[in-house]
Amino acid sequence: STPLKGDKANFKVDEDVSALRKAIEGLGTTEKTLIDVLTQRSSAQRQLIAKAYEKATGRTLIDDLKGDTRGDFEDVLVALVTPPALYDCQEVIKAMKGAGTTESTLTEIFASRSNKQIRELSEAYLAKTGRAMIHDLQSEVSGDYGKALLILAEVYVVQQYYTHTFSESMQALYEAGEKKWGTDEGKFIDILCHRSVPQLRQTLIEYKNISKKTLQESIKSEMSGNLEKLLVAVVKCVQNVPAYLAERLFKSMKGAGTTECTLTRIFVSRSEIDLIDIKVEYKKLFGCSLYSQLESEVSGDYGKTLKCLCGQDE
């Protein structure tokens, strides 16, 4: 079954609430019911369920899920019940918390989200913390990486309209990188992080014509560390967001230990946006279906939940 792109037909909120209550309040939690109800409804329907649940019980569905489930399974169910912008906001907060910032999470979120999503995330952040997200990011990320990330995070404040032509900005990129000793990171950041997607697509084509290398190859040879990863992510997302996320999923499952938090974030946040495309790209890039990869890499109720979100290939 294909992951739902929209609302479940003949959706009855009261039936869902009583099924969830029975699953949670009865002796022993019925995990199957939790999975079936929460993965087979749209995000908007889950919000209606959560409201009705609280009205019926005086408790929040999120608190009850937290009380009744554990570990990665708990995390994915709570993520499903959280409104999308608030979920992104919580992921950003988590990435900034504790010792050391999780740059890979910040890179993924700010490179792959649309301007509208970043605007909503920013509003959710302010509502939740009482602080501007930009302000908190400034104290957590530094150097050229920080500069680039802040431009992406602020994108909604100032959508720059560049008047100069593509070939001018291409020439500028080429001269800032390949052509001279020592790279002018600022120029790369300025052009890559301020443009609209259609402009950047054109930029990638023109760049290759001028420098005989792809922009991605140039970034990789000229830069290193988190800045390199962020700018490469921006370039990949300009070309194909689903392919970028398919690669993130692959890396989360391969190697030592599975990175569950990344799997959860991508499956939940993209389930109504481009998960179908991510599955197509996954198969193209890695030669096997995303579903079969999940079967071999994740287990238990958590694995079942991800497989329900993923859906088997047609």
C-beta of residue 117 within 8 angstroms of C-beta of residue 81: no
Indicate the average pLDDT of the chain: 90
How sure is the predictor about 259, in pLDDT bands with cuts at 50, 70 and 90? very high
Residue found under tokens 């608030």: 86
Q: How far apart are CA 42 and CA 47, in angstroms?
A: 9
Q: How far apart are CA 207 and CA 215, in angstroms?
A: 6
Residues, the chain: 314
Domain boundaries, the chain: 13-69, 85-153, 166-224, 240-310
C-beta of residue 151 within 8 angstroms of C-beta of residue 116: no
CB atoms near residue 207 (< 10 Å): 26
Whether residue 163 has pLDDT greater than 50: no
In CATH terms, 166-224 corresponds, of 1.10.1740.10, 2.60.120.380, 1.10.3720.10, 1.10.220.10, to 1.10.220.10
Instruction: Assess if CATH 3.90.420.10 describes domain 13-69.
Output: no
- According to DSSP, residue 82 is labeled S
For the chain, state the CA radius of gyration: 21
Nearest to 304 by CA among 39, 4, 19, 28: 39
**Which pLDDT score is estimated for 244?**
98
Report the CATH number of the 85-153 domain: 1.10.220.10
Residue found under tokens 């019980």: 57
Both structure tokens of 247: 């690669």
C-beta of residue 115 within 8 angstroms of C-beta of residue 151: no
Q: How many helices (H) and strands (E) are present in the chain, helices listed first?
A: 19, 0
Q: How far apart are CA 236 and CA 278, in angstroms?
A: 13
Burial of 166 (0-12, 13-18, 19+ CB in 10 A): middle
Instruction: Assess if CATH 1.10.220.10 describes domain 240-310.
Output: yes
Residue found under tokens 């950003």: 92
How sure is the predictor about 160, in pLDDT bands with cuts at 50, 70 and 90? very low
C-beta of residue 123 within 8 angstroms of C-beta of residue 85: yes
**Which pLDDT score is estimated for 211?**
86
Q: Residue 182: left (phi > 0), alpha (psi -120 to 50), or beta?
A: left
- Tell me if the pTM is above 0.85: yes
**Predicted confidence (pLDDT) per residue in 21-60, tens digit:** 999 998 877 999 999 999 999 999 999 999 999 999 999 9
Side chain identity at 296, as an amino acid letter? S
Nearest to 29 by CA among 60, 74, 84: 74
Whether residue 98 has pLDDT greater than 80: no
How sure is the predictor about 161, in pLDDT bands with cuts at 50, 70 and 90? very low
Q: How far apart are CA 64 and CA 292, in angstroms?
A: 31
Same fold, 85-153 and 240-310: yes
What whole-number percentage of the chain has pLDDT above 90? 71
